Amino acid sequence: MKIHREGYKIILIATLILVAVLYALTEFNAPVWLTALIGIPLLVLYILVIRFFRNPERYSDKTENGVVCPCDGKVVVIEEVEETEYFKDKRIQISIFMSPLNVHVNRNPISGIVQYFKYHPGKYLVAWHPKSSTENERTTTVIKQENGTEILFRQIAGAVARRIRWYVKPEMKVTQGNEMGFIKFGSRVDVYLPIGSDVRVSLEQKVSAAETLLAICN
């Protein structure tokens, strides 16, 4: 299993803690019941931490004018909204919630040039809170395709997720499906599509980054 670079430090710390605790239990001849009581939950937590930072290979859908999902998770919002930061007009918002069990690598939904990027410090409301899109810590990225279509998406921190990472900057050329960032321990990503886009996902649908076709923009 390939591990994402964002997890190297945390996994190292978790390994040292696990080894230290098991060593202490052995050194002080702890009874079997105590070793099991402490060791088993700690081992399970260790496995979950490693699993959280997994980074499987992904291959993007190449449908013409297709927009792929930027993250793994479940679709929790599909609605027409007013986008007030960049477009300042109506857009179709699709929100994908990532649980701690999902792969947390974020990927570019389309290929093109990064037209706009901004990091916003903010609150840490639960990810499904309606105001999390505008009040939580977040990043906003806009990618412009060769045909002029612009897609905006936001990485949004939640109550637990408080470490957003991004690997893009303005004027950078990016490829659909390639890594653009990472959100540690849960949260969500919002995507804003032009009105009239052919949405290809439904509410409560489980989706995969780069591989699930989110919509087609005509």
Catalytic residue among 95, 132, 133, 187: 187
- Among 156, 133, 155, 152, smallest CA distance to 217 is for 152
Active site residue 187: yes
Cα distance between residue 140 and residue 154, in whole Å: 5
CA angle 43, 47, 51 (to 5 degrees): 170
Query: Would you tell me the crossing angle of helices 8-27 and 32-52 to the nearest 10 degrees?
Result: 170
Give the strands of the sheet with 179-183, arranged side by side.
105-107, 179-183, 164-166
132 vs 151, 159, 214, CA distance in Å? 20, 10, 21
Cα 40 to its chain centre, rounded Å, is 29
Indicate which residues carry an active-site annotation: 187
